[in-house]
Chains A and B, each alone.
Chain A
Amino acid sequence: MQKLIEIKNLTVKYGNNVALKDADLSIFQSDFIGVIGPNGGGKTTLLKAILGLIQPTSGNVIFSEELKDKGGDIGYLPQVNKFDQRFPITVKEVILSGLARRSRWAKPYSKKDNNKLEQLIGELGIEKLVSKPIGELSGGQMQRVFLGRALISNPKLLILDEPDTYVDNKFEHELYEMLLSLNKRMAIMLVSHDVGTITTYVKGIACVNTTLHYHPSNVISPEQLKAYNCPIQIITHGEVPHTVLGSHSHIHKH
């Protein structure tokens, strides 16, 4: 299987604050990696280092030949709360912006681009939203639009940063089903704090808490999590043996 990205001894410091220390991770062609860990544990830092948004203090992120031009081979869905939701931009403009790259600053969109846009809009079920400003969308609709932006460039790796926030259960389920079918043609890296749900879909789990431990299956035990220094409480249900749950404030009855 082809390796897309190799992360070697990656350390990122913000001032004296160590966000990520000696992280190693390889991402292969058909991987579906769930990234879990406590808030402030370095999950977003890891994504930013892969996307080239921050410079590592030491260590490397090595891209395979196919990923080198950064011209859309990595699709990225950031956290939605990060945007100015009143920015004057339409759904269509947001999705098409996924085609942006340095080498096409001013090139108009081609017929092929527009066909791809039409196809995505159909797949995502957002036909009626195309000319709306993003400020008029609900959380779930907005996630669809940003997924469209991430997918329009036919990426080989799709990175999603907490796509399950601000969405209802129905969309969450649809999203994961969509990701499963996308995983047939691209690698996926998914950051989530909804640990319970993602473990039923992912093929491997990366526990990030300053250090990174990769667990090459979606079955993970409390002992393993403890050994990985990943302070997430898990409860194993009888019928779904591989479910991992995040810390709950309410009491579970079995």
Chain B
Amino acid sequence: MIELLQYDFFRNALLAALLTSISCGIIGSYIVARRMVFIGGGITHASFGGIGIAYFAGINPLLGAAVFAVLSALGINYFTSKGNIRQDSSIAIWWSLGMAIGIIFISLSPGYAPNLMSFLFGSILTVSGTDLLFMSAISFITGLLFLVFFRSIMIVSFDSDFAQARNLPVKLFDYLLIVLSALVIVASIRVSGVILVLSLLTIPQATANIFTKKFSSIIIVSVIIGFVGMVTGLMAAYYTNLPSGATIIVVLTLFFAAGKLVSRCLKPSAMKLNQY
């Protein structure tokens, strides 16, 4: 691993793994706690529409993805709160419409689209300096927001009626966090692609949740598991010449399985304690 560190691309990949594990560890814990994983899936796939249009227009695809992700996040929230359409249906529409727009615009673009696969499945080894800058900004904002407002975010997420009765800005937090989730997803597309990004938001959290049921601990453990999993996956992919995004997800899932196994071995004693 030491000799790999002399390569720019590898140093960038490690940095990307760190930044992604921070932002996804935090936002993923929020998304999982609020049972918004399906919304996350909708946003992720909708963002592909932006990638297609940006690709066609010749601008940075992540910029297009960001616009689409934020619009779909706000759209899902808005239409659901208006009650015109059921939430899962609304998500499915954004999900498939985004993919459809992406495919149409990519097919309209002249020539072969070699980057397409990297947007669908990620390519952590081709992360650029600009990407890292974007990731750093998103991770910093996410970390800061949760550091300062952790308690309010938890209260609003757990019982929004109670939070509103106490005059907390429930709507503001809802919209702020859904927009931030969209941006975190876009910032992670480089690492694991549109199709696989959901895993970074859920597998480390599910693994952490085996061992702790405390929101703040789930966040911290998710960040650590995410980072260790990404680096392990990255190394495994490098030495086996397999696609990095997919390898990372397999590694994270193995971590989850190992966690389940360990907790099962520990369980008899835990059950004894719970009887009191």
Contact = CB atoms under 8 A, between A and B. Distances in A.
Interface of A: 48, 51-53, 70-72, 74, 76, 78, 82-84, 87-90, 93-94, 97, 100-102, 105-106, 128, 133, 135-136, 149
Contacts, number: 84
B164 A52 contact: yes
24 contacts: A48-B161, A52-B164, A82-B161, A83-B159, A88-B29, A88-B209, A88-B212, A88-B213, A88-B215, A89-B154, A93-B154, A94-B158, A97-B158, A100-B152, A100-B163, A101-B167, A101-B168, A102-B166, A102-B169, A106-B149, A128-B276, A133-B213, A136-B213, A149-B162
Given A88-B214, A88-B215, A83 B163 contact: no
B215 to A, nearest CB: 4
B154 A106 contact: no
A93 B149 CA distance: 14
Given A88-B215, A97-B154, A133-B214, A70 B165 contact: yes
B33 interface: yes
Nearest to A93: B154
Interface in B145-161: 148-149, 151-152, 154-155, 157-159, 161
B98 to A, nearest CB: 28
B208 to A, nearest CB: 9
A135 B214 CA distance: 11
Which of A74, A87, A90, A101 counts the most B-chain CB atoms under 10 A from its CB? A87
Given A88-B213, A97-B162, A128-B276, A71 B155 contact: no
Given A71-B166, A101-B168, A128-B276, A90 B157 contact: no
A65 to B, nearest CB: 17
Given A89-B154, A93-B154, A53 B213 contact: no
A149 B166 CA distance: 12
B164 A53 contact: yes
Given A84-B158, A106-B151, 5 more contacts: A51-B164, A52-B164, A82-B159, A100-B152, A136-B213
Nearest to B219: A88
Nearest to A108: B151
A71 B164 CA distance: 11
